[in-house]
Amino acid sequence: MADEDLTLKGIGHLLYTDLLPLNRDGTDISMKFLEAVVKKTCLPFVASDFDRTQKVVDFHQPDEMLNLVDMHIPDDPRDLDSLLYDCHQALHYQVKTGHPHYLNQLSCGLDLVSLAGEWVTASANTNMFTYEIAPVFILLENVVLRKMREVIGYKGGDSILCPGGTVSNINAVLCARYKHFPECKTKGVHGLPCQPVLFTSEHSHYSIKTAASAAGLGTDNVVEVKTDAKGKMIPEELEKQIVACLNYEGPVKKKPFFVNCTCGTTVLGAFDPVEPIANICAKYGLWLHIDAAWGGGLLLSEKYRAERFLGVERADSVTWNPHKLMGCLLQCSTVHLKEDGILMNCNQMNAEYLFQDDKQYYDCRFDTGDKVIQCGRHNDIFKLWLMWRAKGMSGFRRHIDGLMATAEYMTEQLKADTSGRFVLLWPEPECVNICFWSVLFCFGVLFVSLYFLF
């Protein structure tokens, strides 16, 4: 876009003080400014996201970027034309995460209905801790999360939206810790006569260790269980580790309490066998958590769900990120608890100045702020609800099945290639992760490395 197009005719010289609310007569100016930001920066960027002739990113090193984009904080206010140009510059050098050739992250694509929902959310600019300040959004959260629990197979239970899968997993660990060691809430882990221990596969997400650290349990007390050639946790190895922990004869007794079952590992997309792991957890009285941040979208598929999620309803908690396979805009992560009330019991601090149970004009059961560790939360529900309304359950099933069909097609193309250029790490991927070596590329890198080394 030419620089002359990035101007606000007649108002570009004005300042933020000419906008609402500082200027009570600034409605027209304010609307023109916002309209220009959307039309001249946001919409062209969205269009370029889907343009295959456009580059995914105009990449520059950090020191170069600091010279290309004026980032300093000025002493004096900048005019509206300058602010419009700032918006343009920020998007010009941003990675196009909705581009068809963008394959860098597990969260990618740009769902336009979800985008519209996020714009509405930003316009409302409300917190999500009480019904009185976000009545529609709080009820939408209640409706959507209840639907997700139904999909999982829970009867009742509780859920919350979190800022990412790591925080969802932290919430699950905190609830499990409270369930097994309720005194931790008031006395801390130093008041325990034993050392709580967590178990997870060696291919699981690092957030389980993060959760152990945040909960005061220590990363040394996270036991990584061996996986098979497909990247799936081996149940027999899990039980062996649990028994070894129970038989530990050190100065402080070890107490197993939490098992993380990954459904969709980050690299291979592997699904740990839920049913046999659930049997082991039931045998030893352990909390079973399913980290389906990545693979949770397959719960919506009648075709792919059964084999991968057999026994999912037996889990005590489930993490599921709609901003991944479901394609919702970042960020949108959920954690679901089978036991109703445990989120509140675990996290409630009874801040009476904010959460007033004696309110008579509405049902305070819908307030969420006292049952989470954050208090204030961003409104992540509207964009998810709106895209679910657009697709319906049937549309999301087609969406997920389509992703898997595309992955299967690519896998078959790689298998059919006879040039020897590609080597599949696993010929039957369980998710949309397709791991392979590009032989020519690898040898090229090796050759260049050896050239400069010798």
Note the pLDDT tens digit of each residue in 77-89.
999 999 999 999 9
Taking alpha carbons only, the member of 190, 187, 178 closest to residue 287 is 178
Question: Would you place residue 353 in the very low, low, confident or very high pLDDT band (cuts 50, 70, 90)?
Answer: confident
In-domain check, residue 129: yes
Task: Compute how many other C-beta atoms are within 10 angstroms of the C-beta atom of residue 239.
Answer: 18
Same domain, 87 and 207: no
Same domain, 348 and 402: no
Question: Would you place residue 426 in the very low, low, confident or very high pLDDT band (cuts 50, 70, 90)?
Answer: confident
Is the torsion defined by CA of 395, 399, 400, 405 positive or negative?
positive
Query: What is the per-residue pLDDT across 63-78, written as a single tens digit (0 to 9) for each?
Result: 999 999 999 999 999 9
- What is the domain extent for residue 75? 3-104
- Whether the Cβ atoms of residue 217 and residue 198 lie closer than 8 Å to each other: yes
- Whether the Cβ atoms of residue 144 and residue 332 lie closer than 8 Å to each other: no
In-domain check, residue 27: yes
Mean pLDDT of 243-248: 98
Mean pLDDT of 264-290: 98
Question: Would you place residue 355 in the very low, low, confident or very high pLDDT band (cuts 50, 70, 90)?
Answer: confident
Q: Kindly tell me if the per-residue pLDDT of 441 is higher than 80.
A: no
Same domain, 29 and 71: yes
Whole-number pLDDT of residue 174: 99
Same domain, 237 and 338: yes
Whole-number pLDDT of residue 449: 46
Same domain, 283 and 330: yes
Give the total number of structural domains in the chain: 3
Taking alpha carbons only, the member of 239, 261, 265 closest to residue 318 is 261
Q: Kindly tell me if the per-residue pLDDT of 312 is higher than 90.
A: yes
Residue 123, H or E segment: helix 112-124
Q: Which amino acid is at 28?
A: D
- Whether the Cβ atoms of residue 331 and residue 164 lie closer than 8 Å to each other: yes
State the chain's mean pLDDT as an integer: 94
pTM of the model: 0.94
Whole-number pLDDT of residue 453: 46
Query: CA 109 from chain center: how many Å?
Result: 14
Same domain, 29 and 154: no
Question: Would you place residue 1 in the very low, low, confident or very high pLDDT band (cuts 50, 70, 90)?
Answer: low
For 326-343, the DSSP string reads T-PPS--EEEEESSTTHH
Q: Kindly tell me if the per-residue pLDDT of 448 is higher than 50.
A: no
Instruction: Spell out the residues 6+ positions from residue 180 whose beta carbon is closer than 8 angstroms to its own.
Output: 196, 255, 257, 258, 287
Burial class (CB in 10 A: 0-12, 13-18, 19+), 99: buried
Whole-number pLDDT of residue 5: 82
For 187-247, the DSSP string reads H-GGG-SEEEEEEEETTS-THHHHHHHHTTS-GGGEEEEPB-TTS-B-HHHHHHHHHHHHT
Q: What is the dihedral of CA 113, 336, 319, 167, to 10 degrees?
A: 90
Query: What is the per-residue pLDDT across 367-381, written as a single tens digit (0 to 9) for each?
Result: 999 999 988 899 999
